[in-house]
Amino acid sequence: MLLSWSLGLVFIWSQLETVCAFTQYLLKDCKQAGFCHRNRHYAEEIQKSERSYYSIDADNVYYDENEKVVRATILKTIFQGDNRNNEQKVELPFTLGLLQDGATVRFTIDENRPHKNYLPSSLNQRRYNEASKWAFEDWQNLPKYEATMRKGFLNRNKVIVEGDCDYICKLKVELYTKSFLIKIYYKEALIMVVNERSLLNYEHLRAEQENESNLLLEESDFNMFHDNFKYSKDDTMPFGPESVALDFTFSEFEHLYGLPEHPGSFRLQDTSNGEPYRLYSTDVFRYDIGTRMPMYGNIPFVIGNNQRAAAGIFWVNAADTWVDFKYTRDAKKTPKSQSHWMSETGIIDVVLFFGDTPSEITEKYTAITGRPALPKQAAIGYHQCRWNYNDELDVLTVDSSMDRDHFPYDNIWLDLEYTDNKKFFTWKPNAFPNPDRLLKKLAKLGRDLTVLIDPHLKAGYNVSNAVVADHAAIKNHEGDTFYGTCWPGKSVWIDTMGDIGRKLWAKFYEAFLNGAKNLDIWNDMNEPSIFDGPETTAPKDLIHAGGFEQRALHNVYPLTVHQATYDGMINIFNESSRPFIIARGHFSGSQRTAGTWTGDNVANWDYLKISIPMILSSNVAGMPFTGADIAGFFDNPEDELVVRWYQAGLWYPFFRAHAHIDSLRREPYLFEEPIKSHIRNAIQLRYNLLPTFYTAFYEASIDGTPIMKPMVFEKPEFLDLALVEDQFYLGNSGLVVKPIVEKDAVSTTMLVAEGLYYDYWDLRPYRGGTIIPDDEFVENLPALTFNVKPIRVNAPLDKIPILLEGGHIISKREKYRRSSKLSRNDAYTLVVAPDNYGNAEGKLYADDGETLAHKHGEYLLSTFTMQNNELLTGHPTHNTLNKASLGNTLIDKIIIASSTMKSPPKDTVTVKKGLSRYAVKAVRTGPYETTIFNPLVHADETWEIDF
């Protein structure tokens, strides 16, 4: 015990030290991980032998009218070599049904397990099948779709499941029984094949002495009952081998995205000659760029698309998981994307989504896992953080200094050191003697304070004592309270998987918040991070409520922590305040209650560059409220990097600066000119565009639309854009951004679909495909289709490359205010960018910015439209009688990109509102724009302006 404690202290010190890179040796690779090694081996051998061990008794397949699913039993046949005289049959119950609009398929494969007397009584012997309970928003009331089932007439080995087939079957599922196989057709085209390569592998329950007679010829027995990895040799592995694996083939697809979070490219890489992607929540400070190593959060969701259709896989499993990808082509050069999913335990529970576009797949996925929560408006502003602001005076000094130098911000953060001796739910008495006073001072300027609260609790104080006494702590494999090492030293961990733990966690918040609505919560280290645990996280044989091992639910535990925080805050404030929670560890469904960030990055250009594809991947996987620490958590960034990181970071949905305790102070006001002004301009641009950002957040909360949207999601028919990961759209706004992520760059090239675009800064028009005279540059461009065009944009240090696509209207507020709350009484500015036909459209969302009243209809959604360069209209598509909740809705300026119009607006234009009709001035305010000043129209009323 003394040795373990000493090692823990050494590890804590190593975490405090600045190190060159992540200690990769702490993590397993696939060859060291028993189930990954075994499944890769099985995949290789089964394709050589071409045997089939899994089948369905076709005579016993039936359609359950009550549950609207096909039911059957998959039989796993075990025999040694070709000797079938001593066969064993393992029964694997199978269900398959249609969801949503009939173009979504869910199937499950479970195991009928005999009771084993040798297993500890503290363990639940059934396979863990509750990942969906946490990942799905309403797991008990999924939108099931009535299907029809029939047996194949010519092929009796086939069962056909279809939805509505009045004209063309939107989706047809063919289930093959002789050798388990599923083919799925969307709009009559084969789009996905399940188990095409026969990689289905279901390691059934058996005792160690029974193992030899239960092995298939193609299987390896590597680490089936023991773990020889250096840091996890103590794993008791009571169930032995119980991994599940399956392969999926996307037909005619060559691009796959998603599977956050990994510090790699947006398009998922082929893993044939390297490590698979690993999904396993762990604490990886200073993670390595370009690896497929595990990270803090894990969303087992992948999307692919071609020019005609899109599809997605949601692997509903919370255990340690590895995924292989392979891009290949058949003899006719037709592409296909293959994936192989392997989890250590749990059941096979898969949801497959099909549609016309990748955005439709994200919409369907978030319809099941929950829409991203609409945060309070202050959460969308700028956040100032470091580890640590030392005391109340330090916080107020930062606050006043930001005001003095005109840097708007909404939220200041306190890291670990604000606590009393690292005891969460406490304040350090000498540093923060009166938290209520501090919170009230910040509230006067519309600002929030966010504080760190982690699930590890220092042993021996009132909070942790209550957790132990109420049996709400995670248990060790013997059923006693588990103690491990984290920041406070010896600690216990709250078990938020169980009702008792969640209720107790909420109770702690009630006392701590003390009614302060501007006190927000940061659930860090919730993977959980355990310094003396294997792979810097929890031993896999820990036991949670319900008798389930950590092994089975590891990746969903982080979600339960922040969801319990959210539920507690909702109960405390009773809808009068939207909880703002940021959590490092996350899973599918986390978007309902929290945002996240990319963790402990480093202040260098490579980490700035990789932040964009990382955040894009989270956005397409339903977790849009994501950011990266500006300008790197570790180390001290050079001035140019700081500027460029702020210019990139202002587009992150979660916009926060953060720094390590050993780094130099780098609050924006500490820089010399012109760096200080460049940073100020970047932050101010975020505040100018808050109406557009807030509208994007609203749309994400309605249909899951990415806020930082990949180019290929906006233009899915232009597949070349699938490889563009350094530029993006802001939601549906039409703003196209390419932050500068290279040192000394003063220009860049933006790749866009054909059409009309405008430079955001002066509305200079560009047509996709502007000629670039730099011959060397042209040679270095990727091969493009004739529909994808390059536009060369100047980008000195004081400029961000931004285009506004023709056909869009965006909203701004242009006055400087110290926080977003103080801007609510400012008027709006509209920017109108007509397309080639003189048409444009945009939306504006507004509500009270703080409460949950919007869920009861108290909000404004207004649509603005330009038609044929002649008529501009505003029309509320949803309004509220509580006008005070909307703030100021006046539109006092309308800027029109007029240089492409055949007939630009005259000196006066006519405004029509109800029975009123009056003229206002239109002024040519630049070579490319015309401005209508004071049109006296509001966003919450209907009006027209004739040019």
Catalytic positions are 524, 527, 600
What is the Cα–Cα distance from 747 to 106, expressed in whole angstroms? 48
Q: Which of 111, 720, 527, 42 is nearest to 324 (CA)?
A: 42
Antiparallel, parallel or unpaired: β 828-833 and 890-897: parallel
- Residue 930's DSSP bridge partners are 896, 924
What is the Cα–Cα distance from 279 to 296, expressed in whole angstroms? 9
The answer to whether 779 and 788 have CB atoms below 8 angstroms apart is: no
Structural tokens at position 241: 């081998």
**What does residue 719 show for φ and ψ, rounded to 5 degrees?**
-65, -20
- Residue 190's DSSP bridge partners are 185
Structural tokens at position 221: 């027995």
What is the Cα–Cα distance from 15 to 263, expressed in whole angstroms? 20
The answer to whether 486 and 525 have CB atoms below 8 angstroms apart is: yes
User: How many CB atoms neighbour CB 798 within 10 A?
Assistant: 12
Q: In what order do the strands lie in the sheet with 519-523?
A: 581-583, 519-523, 448-452, 411-414, 382-384, 655-657
What is the Cα–Cα distance from 675 to 681, expressed in whole angstroms? 10
- In Å, how far are 217, 218, 239, 329, 460 from 51, measured between CA atoms? 10, 9, 27, 24, 58
User: How many CB atoms neighbour CB 279 within 10 A?
Assistant: 29
Distance, first Cα to last Cα, the chain = 81
Find the helix packing angle between 557-573 and 499-513, rounded to 10°. 50
What percent helix, strand, coil does the chain show, rounded to 5? 25, 30, 45
What is the Cα–Cα distance from 308 to 324, expressed in whole angstroms? 25
Q: What is the DSSP letter of 371?
A: P
Q: 583 exposed, middle or buried (CB, 10 Å; 0-12, 13-18, 19+)?
A: buried
Q: What is the 3-state secondary structure (H, E, C) of 513-565?
A: HCCCCCEEEEECCCCCCCCCCHHHCCCCCCEECCCEEHHHHHHHHHHHHHHHH
What is the Cα–Cα distance from 116 to 567, expressed in whole angstroms? 38
Q: What is the DSSP letter of 288?
A: P
What's CA 190's distance to the chain center, in Å? 29
User: How many CB atoms neighbour CB 761 within 10 A?
Assistant: 11
- In Å, how far are 99, 363, 685, 688 from 693, measured between CA atoms? 32, 19, 11, 10
What is the Cα–Cα distance from 257 to 301, expressed in whole angstroms? 9
User: How many CB atoms neighbour CB 774 within 10 A?
Assistant: 11
What is the Cα–Cα distance from 474 to 551, expressed in whole angstroms? 13
**What does residue 85 show for φ and ψ, rounded to 5 degrees?**
-75, -20
What's CA 544's distance to the chain center, in Å? 26
Chain position carrying tokens 């239960």: 214
Q: Which of 502, 500, 482 is nearest to 543 (CA)?
A: 482
What's CA 481's distance to the chain center, in Å? 33
Enumerate residues 6+ apart whose C-beta is below 8 A from 528. 281, 455, 456, 493, 537, 538, 557, 558, 585
Q: 445 exposed, middle or buried (CB, 10 Å; 0-12, 13-18, 19+)?
A: middle
